[in-house]
Amino acid sequence: MRRTALLVSAALLTSLLPLAVARAADDPPPAPVDRFEGEVPFANPPENGIFTWGSDTDDPPTLRLSPRDDAPEGDQVLAGSYDISGYGGFTHDFAFAEPAHDWSGHQGIRFWWEGQNNGRKVAFELKDGGANGEASELWTTSFTDDFSGWKQIEIPFTDFAYRTDYQPVGGIDHVLGLTETWGYGVTLPVGAPGRFAMDGVELYGRADQSLRASVTTDSAVYPVTEGRTATVRVTVATTGSAPIDEPVTVAYETAGGTASGADYVPLKGEFTFPAGTASGTTRTLQVATLKDRAAAETAETIPLKLTVTGAKAPAETPQVVIDAHGLPYLNSRLPVKTRVADLLSRMSLAEKTGQMTQAERGAVGTGADVTADDLGSLLSGGGSTPTPNTAEAWAKMIDSFQLRAQATRFQIPLIYGVDAVHGHNNLVGATVMPHNIGIGATRDPGLAQRTGAVTAAEVRATGIPWDFAPCLCVTRDERWGRSYESFGEDPALVESMETVIQGLQGARNGKDLHRNDKVLATAKHFVGDGGTAYGSSTTGTYTIDQGVTTVTRQQLEAIHLAPYKSAVDRGVGTVMPSYSSLDVVGDGLGPVKMHARADMINGVLKQRLGFDGFVISDWNGIDQIPGDYASDVRTSVNAGVDMVMAPYAYKDFHTALVQEVRAGRVSEKRIDDAVSRILTQKFRLGLFEKPYADTSGASRIGSAGHRAVAREAAAESQVLLKNSGGILPLKKSQKVYVAGSNADDIGNQSGGWTVTWQGASGDVTPGTTILEAMRGNSARVTYSKDASEPLTGYDVGVVVVGETPYAEGVGDVGNGHDLELSAADRAAVDKVCAAMKCAVLIVSGRPQLIGDRLGEIDALVASWLPGTEGDGVADVLYGRRPFTGRLPVTWPKSEAQLPINVGDSSYDPQFPYGWGLTTLTKVPEGGAATLKAIGAAARAAERAGADATGRALVTKARLIVQRKGITAAFAKPFAEADHLLLAGRYGEAVAKLAQAYESA
């Protein structure tokens, strides 16, 4: 079809659409924004132009300016294709380095879109206010591609809503001002390949007051004790913050709701904001409640209906809520079990299933669905943060959601959860600990507990009572992208580090959970996630994460299940099943997704191990169970999952579960068990008495005291693998040449799960890089990232190399990742180590393959992912603390050796499990005779239950033995000795070390 004919057809179609508005006589002519005739460059921020973005390297769409005969305007259109798995789209920052545009005089924005009639939603957003296009508020709306061919999409500015799921910055004014507009963006649909074309972006129409003025209230919910008065603040505001030019009248009336006329004094009337009233002016309304004769009542609602003339009315009707009172479950002096039974007996099926539903905070917007669906829980996924990302904003956001729960009949508080897996890692400025792999390297259970205590204090101070940590996975293959979430490859090591649970929760019986510095912990991922076979994953491009763990019953018990028995004994409050499948050899079931394994969740975890907390699914974890959605819901809940994390499908889950119960496929007894478990933890956390954030501890977030714990953990996590000539520790008098990609990058040294899910390189959060810490110890430090500066005249070089951040299966080897150093890192190592004595620090979440470079490296350190406190790394480099860390996993010679673990029949690694040299001032002397004497003393200590003495003796023997060279015959008994040490078998551990000594 020729362009003229097509445009006639499009114009006719547009004239029939409700969105199309004929231009009024006094409307200004359209103001062009983009014509796509070559006037818009493709660029990157901060340059003026169009740029793409996405959740990973495959997700940004392709873009081109394409000549089209049928272009609605001119000769070219903006066209592209996409295949997005996470999120992706494009943005035009048209005023980044120029004064912002003033759009406040127009009614809306419109553009031509070539429809594919695929029924999918396309999000369109504006960048408003703030300093520039990348530091502005995002306002969003969407349209549905349910048409074919070109169509002009018209969007009034009143259709845009403030984004609640993501903001690059925040705290500007939360008002769509339109006087400082920096650009727009388009977010494309996910899940299937597609293409698009766009043309003729322009502003249309004239703004009138009813479109640019709005009336709001300071809250949607006003809880009040019976007999007291609620105060509602009503505010008028305008885009552009200009005074209103016409009167705005607000009529108000209390009507409807669950409260009766005897519960409050009816209120009815109206008031007017006169012309000229300043934007932001507030009036107050007071709703007085009355005490009736009922001694015990559930919460009652009093809607305050507002009818607005001359401005946009509030998005929802505010509600005054008379608090529930006098009911047994509200009595904090009663036993928790009694309170649970009383509350459960009063609840409807919908209220119970609501408690079993967890939604993502970005999905519920301002939170109306918390009330409507009786939601029991919300979470922040990785990187799902309030704006600004401050402790105060977190507390304010969570309190706003808790307020919504107060509008429900029983006012059951929400339990809000986050993945604080190495400190409160979602919060900018929090203390970021080493990842678990580094904590495992410390071999220090007391320190692990203190890191958990710091994390709990910082998390609870922002209003969050629940942490999805710790991961109790036993990592068996370093190709796994979650390796760093594990304390190590030995279940005995993982068990020893579970003191972190007490750091998070306090006492084993849960009596400390109500404290403002404790949180509910989560043992994850039950069970076997660290044992998945390479190549077994069927999730996207993952190669090992979420795959299949194939084990004998004996292997399952000894390796993967053992840490969960310890966690249950420690009173862990929740358990999260794994995405992975479990295939137990000989049980005849084949691989079964863990979310569906009733034999493991109900049978082993709850019945055999006696777990009395609740089971929370992983993110959309039930969706991976074969079958339709109803089957997924039925299977998982019957298997023992008590709460389902259905981040964006929470309504579907809630509806499906109610239907399954009514159909008899899920029993009410199973529902009551699940809800009882959930309510028990809410009562233990003290949420019924104190649902809102206690921010009294917020001043300690990122404090010197908390960072001192992280610094100590970073120092103890450093594993000295090689130290030829004793070049470490460094001397402050030495002239040091520092190079490498990870020397001066807080994002790289913190790793994934830092501020965002995947983490990022660069200055993502306050902290001290390794380079900055080294400079704090000596002024004689020169830095050249790529080792391009002259290399002569230095006493020693320090090259800090390793990985860039990733999380979960995104980091799987074979999914765009490997275990090799980058070409730039290899070049830096080669240059520096050829020119001078050198120490190489590997900042990574797993071992990296050193290969034939080991000979040219004088000192080698496994630094793991030390977090924000680079001072801890410098402490051991400069001898303020000795190197004491030990390998929590086996360090392989090549990828072909993987998987390789302590206890394997064939074992010939680069460095064995448990290896770790020391820089203590005096390393023990001795040989075979000394080891024999130590062995006798260790056996005696074991018989006497003198654990501290036994551990010290084994450590002394290990330091003696480490002077020998590593061979296969040496490595196997050496690694096994460390396992025996953790198991408390000190005599056998020394005997293994003696065997290693003799083999060398």
Q: Any idea which residues carry the catalytic annotation?
A: 618, 808
Which stretch of DSSP H or E encloses residue 217?
strand 213-217
| 296-to-329, 346, 403, 417, 794 alpha-carbon distances in Å | 11, 13, 21, 32, 80
Beta-carbon contacts of residue 761 (< 8 Å; ≥ 6 apart): 745, 747, 748, 804, 805
d(CA 942, CA 757): 44
864: nearest Cα among 729, 742, 975:
742
Task: Give the three-state DSSP class for 93.
Answer: strand
d(CA 272, CA 246): 10
Residue 105, judged by CB atoms within 10 A of its CB (0-12, 13-18, 19+), counts as: middle
**Torsion over CA: 273, 279, 281, 282 (sign):** positive
Beta-carbon contacts of residue 628 (< 8 Å; ≥ 6 apart): none
d(CA 352, CA 668): 10
What residue type is assigned to position 99 of the chain? Answer: P
d(CA 117, CA 113): 11
> Are 623 and 593 in contact, with CB atoms under 8 Å apart?
no
What does 529-555 look like in DSSP terms, one character per residue? GGGPPTT---STT-SSTT-EEEE-HHH
- H helices of 836-911, where? 871-877
d(CA 17, CA 493): 66
d(CA 271, CA 162): 28
Sort strands 229-238 and 248-254 into parallel, antiparallel or unpaired: unpaired
Q: Which two tokens stand for residue 140?
A: 């969003």
Q: Which two tokens stand for residue 277?
A: 């009233």
User: 338: phi > 0 → left, psi -120 to 50 → alpha, else beta; which?
Assistant: alpha
Which stretch of DSSP H or E encloses residue 985?
none
SS3 per-residue string spanning 352-382: HHHHCEEEECCCCCCCHHHHHCCCCEEEECC
d(CA 246, CA 254): 27
812: nearest Cα among 421, 556, 545, 578:
545
Task: Give the three-state DSSP class for 630.
Answer: helix
Q: Which two tokens stand for residue 741?
A: 């990609």
Bridge partners of residue 268, in order along the sequence:
253
Beta-carbon contacts of residue 781 (< 8 Å; ≥ 6 apart): 736, 738, 771, 774, 775
139: nearest Cα among 112, 170, 106, 107:
170
Q: Which two tokens stand for residue 394?
A: 């977190």
Which stretch of DSSP H or E encloses residue 9?
helix 3-16
Q: How many residues does the chain have?
A: 1000
What does 438-506 look like in DSSP terms, one character per residue? HHHHHT-HHHHHHHHHHHHHHHHTTT--EE---B------TTSTTGGGSS-S-HHHHHHTTHHHHHHH-
> Are 218 and 233 in contact, with CB atoms under 8 Å apart?
yes
Phi, psi of 696 (to 5 degrees): -65, -25
> Are 717 and 434 in contact, with CB atoms under 8 Å apart?
yes
681: nearest Cα among 453, 409, 377:
377
